[in-house]
Amino acid sequence: MKLPKTILTATKCVHSGTQIDENLGGVNTPIHTSTAFKYLEDYEMKYPRMANTSNQIAIVDKINALENAAKGLVFSSGLGAISAALIGLLAPGDHVIVQADIYGGTAHFMHHQLQRYGIEISFVTIESKANLDGAIRPSTKMIYIETPSNPLMKLTDISMVADFAKEHDLITFADNTFATPIFQKPLDLGIDLVMHSGTKYFSGHSDIIFGYLGGSAKLINQIQIAQIDLGATLDARLCYEIERSMKTLHIRVERAADNAMELATWLEANDKIEMVYYPGLASHSQFELAKKQMIGGFGAMMSFRLKSGIDPIKFQKALQIICPAVSLGGVESLIGSPYLTSHKSISQKERDKMGITNQDVRFSVGIESIDDLKNDLNQALFADN
């Protein structure tokens, strides 16, 4: 089906990428499970590891439309996307400037794999152009960012990074998992490659793992060679489930972000709470930047710091709706202590330096009724504390 070029986000979520069932007239993309394709007649060479089968293309086209990407790829996980991109583009001797507070699994990949191949990594707090000036070397090839970051919801100035990179002929890479393309479009701000852990908001129901990478045809073609070699590809049946999930991405994340905004404001006024970290609050130290680079909302991830009298474990155990669990981005609200989950392997001293305390909890706000979420937090804040 040919869609008008002018369609907007919600329409893209529902319609972009759909490969209408021409044989039967069905309105959904049929699931084509073949991993073997005829070649003697004039058929295109297809094979799922080459990421060129119809169900893979349907979801790639949908996410490309949302991120305004010329070309994209889907992978069996977010790390599958990150590893293929970095291995595909970098060579021994190359240097990468990496935002210091990126996702732990990404940092682990850089430490344990990339560095073994002679790729040099500098973890840098990217708060200003001066930080980048201080970190750049003649061998620098790429800047890697993730905004908002986990767990304190710090922002990186996407346009600033993109402008700096253009001046120095560097490739820029942005992990857009937390914001989703509904609230932030890094490619529109001058970034070269955008990545998602589709495991989070794109799947949206905490039941599918996949990854996405989008950018210019030139970069994606180069990365596709690495994907074919590394093999982190995606099965047709799963692609269909992803396509189904993505049709409701906008309404899920908009509702979750509305809940997050209201809860952040409410928590900030609660005298059992020390501090709330949410980019949509005027008290967030980068609220102006948030308004500049985020669109139509501020996402549904936040953290808050419990006052010292409140035991964070007892608090989480007392919750009846919000589930203490690792991961994020589902329709259900999830909560967790960074010191016991994402930042467990980091020493207390390092966490102190990062400003992360044992009283901090990270909150992936879901789409439940706001009153039930408030009541649940309230009863747990008073339970036994």
At closest approach, how far in Å is the CB of 107 from ligand PLP? 10
CB 201 within 8 A of CB 179: no
CA separation, residue 36 to residues 58, 74, 228 (Å)? 19, 20, 16
CA separation, residue 128 to residues 163, 178, 281, 290, 295 (Å)? 12, 21, 22, 15, 22
Nearest CB to ligand PLP, comparing residues 147 and 316: 147
Nearest CB to ligand PLP, comparing residues 108 and 317: 108
Rounded-to-integer distance, Cα 113 and Cα 92, Å: 12
Shortest Cβ contact with ligand PLP: which residue? 78
Nearest CB to ligand PLP, comparing residues 77 and 216: 77
Rounded-to-integer distance, Cα 43 and Cα 254, Å: 42
CB 312 within 8 A of CB 358: yes
At closest approach, how far in Å is the CB of 307 from ligand PLP? 28
At closest approach, how far in Å is the CB of 46 from ligand PLP? 25
Cross-strand pairs, 308:
none
Nearest CB to ligand PLP, comparing residues 148 and 312: 148
**Pairing mode, strands 211-215 and 334-336:** unpaired
At closest approach, how far in Å is the CB of 207 from ligand PLP? 13
User: In the chain, at which residue ranges do the beta strands (DSSP E only) sit?
Assistant: 71-75, 95-99, 120-124, 140-146, 171-175, 193-197, 211-215, 273-277, 301-306, 323-324, 334-336, 360-364
Nearest CB to ligand PLP, comparing residues 200 and 250: 200
Which pair of tokens denotes residue 135? 């970190």
At closest approach, how far in Å is the CB of 133 from ligand PLP? 26
CB 82 within 8 A of CB 109: yes
At closest approach, how far in Å is the CB of 139 from ligand PLP? 25
At closest approach, how far in Å is the CB of 81 from ligand PLP? 8
Nearest CB to ligand PLP, comparing residues 177 and 337: 177
CA-nearest of 124, 49, 63, 92 to 249 is: 63
Q: Is 161 helix (H, G, I), strand (E, B) or coil?
A: helix
Q: Point out which residues bind ligand PLP (CB under 6 A).
A: 77-79, 103, 105-106, 146, 175, 177-178, 197, 199-200, 209, 211
Nearest CB to ligand PLP, comparing residues 305 and 362: 362
Nearest CB to ligand PLP, comparing residues 199 and 357: 199
Sign of CA dihedral 160, 258, 151, 215: negative
At closest approach, how far in Å is the CB of 218 from ligand PLP? 24
